[in-house]
Structure 1
Amino acid sequence: MRRHRHKSMTTVRQPMMLSRIKRSNFWARFRIILLVAGIAAGILAVIFFGFPLVEDLIKGVDPSLRYQPKVEASFTHEEESVPQSIESAELYFDKKYQLKNEPYIDGDQIIFTTQAQKGVSQNLDGVVVYNTQTGEERLLENTEKKYDNFICPVLSGNIAVFLDSMEAGGGRILGYDLETGEQFLIKEYAYAPPHLSMSGDLLAFMQWAGEETQRLYVYNVQTREPVTVKLYEAAAGNSDVDISDSDMVWAEKDGKGNSVLKRVVFRSDGTSEFENYNFGNAVYGPKTNGRQIVYKTEENSISGTLMISTEGGEPTKLAEGVFDYEIGDNFVAYSKDGQIYVAYTNAADTVQLTNEITRNLLASANGNGVCYYDITDKSTENAVLDEVVQYAYVPET
């Protein structure tokens, strides 16, 4: 019996000893792996940190600067590729002039017509000139309104021009000397109100003289001399004329669907002459600054293609989907989808002047200035709200 028990005990202990030997070998191998890993990590640390550290110490550079995080804002960017921002300001009168009709900018001054005499009817019976530098407004004195409304004001230097218009058609073109306070008559008209364009001492307009007759006039506001540039018999309805210091342009129609550019250049010796540019037969509403000419390729379109030519060169597309546009000294301002854009004529930059959350309507552009309406709060067409007029000055590129 004892031998049987002793044999049984010997048989049980042998597997336990083998298990211990295996565990001992595992830990030995694990220690070797850890040692090798530690040596490798040390070598890598010397390569990545030790060598650069020695290099920094040799060069006399603070080693901590090598591992500072790189800040994107500290990088240098190419400023030439970034369009300049344009700041806008508001024409504000604390409810004094709720109506600010057709604001037109000229240098530091903005002219508009308004309701000066409060009453039941909302007739535009006053003309206001606002100074953007001082914030002062001037209601022009001694203005005589013979008909219904003062409309279409323009300004150049010390001379303002506007229409005294009848709602049924007809009226007169009036001038006003800001220095003397004198109003003077330029011309009577019997049909639709003409569109006025003014530059320097020259005022230009296309006037209907009958159902089939148009006359192109140029008037010198200083000498008070009028000139009939051209008489159109059986006219198909030519475009408005636009004038600069050195030229004037308009589109001439032939009654067969063709509309071509016409241009008169003013020479330094006081003479002028016609110049013909071949822009095709789809030129509508051309405008000029003396160097560039812009126009649309569709008539009476609320979203047309805007083309531009420099010094009579091949026209190129400036923008699509354009509602309205004006030209300044070095830019074209246009409205599209309720926003106002400024495209520089001497660069490829276009700046969105207005904010996406607003709705806007272009009013005028002249020189280096732009005027526009913010119509975001016009909840209804007949809402009696203070008209919000913004203006901005476009910097040179």
Structure 2
Amino acid sequence: MDINYIQGGVTSPQGFLASGIHCGLKKSTIKKDLALIYSEVPSNAAGVFTKNKVKGAPLYITKEHLLNKKARAIIVNSGNANTCNGEDGLKKAKKMAMLQAKELNIKTDDVLVASTGVIGVPLNIDAIKDGIPLLTKELAKEGYEDASSAIMTTDTFKKQLALEFYIGDVKITLGAMAKGSGMIEPNMGTMLSFITTDLDISPELLNEALKSSVKISYNRVSVDGDTSTNDMVLILANGLAKNDPITEKDEKYETFLNALNDLNIKLSKNIAKDGEGATKLIECKISGAKTEDDAVTLGKSIVNSNLVKTAIFGSDANWGRILCSLGYAQIDFDPNKVDVYFESCAGSIKVCEHGTSIEFNESKAKEILIQDEITIKVDLFLGDGNACVWGCDLSYDYVKINGDYRS
């Protein structure tokens, strides 16, 4: 299938508008902190949420509103996670939906809510209340840029994409925006992703496609091993492309799923690349594991290892740290069969064979590892289980950012 990436974001599909404003949740008046995505017609909707037992108030409200598998709007604030605020937090998350629904003249349960920012601080609902009229007024096709800015916290760049593909002779568009920089170990940090499409698809298959796609994209990212309290991925499909409705897992469904996977994997890599204080994206490819799940666990053990992450930061071909991280992953493998390679745009070099050292050119290894996108390739020679996971290096700036996050 042909996938064509285009300029744009969540408003690229037909019938979607967006906006982003500063309402006063962030101290800086030049930083936007409130975003809105709106479908001009009812949409089928689905979501995937954090596995952390401590969950932000918006997740409970959004899950409740998704029971009917429908939605028309998503309101998102940054600067405050609205987490660990008890009943008060739940009331404020619900009020966000109610206030936005009233302004849009739609039902409250057609509004989904998301928050990101500091945990354990009461949410300034008055600032949001005062901001919603302007937020709604600013809705526009061009609003995807402001909306993407408004969901950022420690992110250093906006993460948004749009693509087109065809089902038969009908053009389908997917748009998305995401944020995530620290506390990233999804299982679904704080990581948010919002996807829009004009595809006509049943809510059941939309939900199944999203869960399947999240499994091989966002759930294979780790920045620091911390699973956040507010992670969510939401998708709205409003059907305005007028394709024949997708109601079964046929070729049309697979075409959509492939496009969705491509989009989400690209966003996931951007999230990993923009990890707090990160200077390098780490892609870890595991092959030859007994199962795919084993490969994912082993890959995450590598990208979560602080010793591996700091070695990559220092462009040090210290492959022993990779074997060490494999060894404590509690997955069965034979250390005496493992091969390890480092790869980048500067080339590829084998640094370990059958679990032991081999002679390699240290200068060449340094040249490979000094690049800003590094691949660690591990062959286990045990089975057919393969997986690719993404992470980042660990720099001095990670400590600086998180040492004074609340200030």
Which entry has the higher C-alpha Rg, 1 or 2? 1
Q: Which category describes the TM-score, using the shorter chain as reference length? A: under 0.3
Larger strand fraction of residues: 1
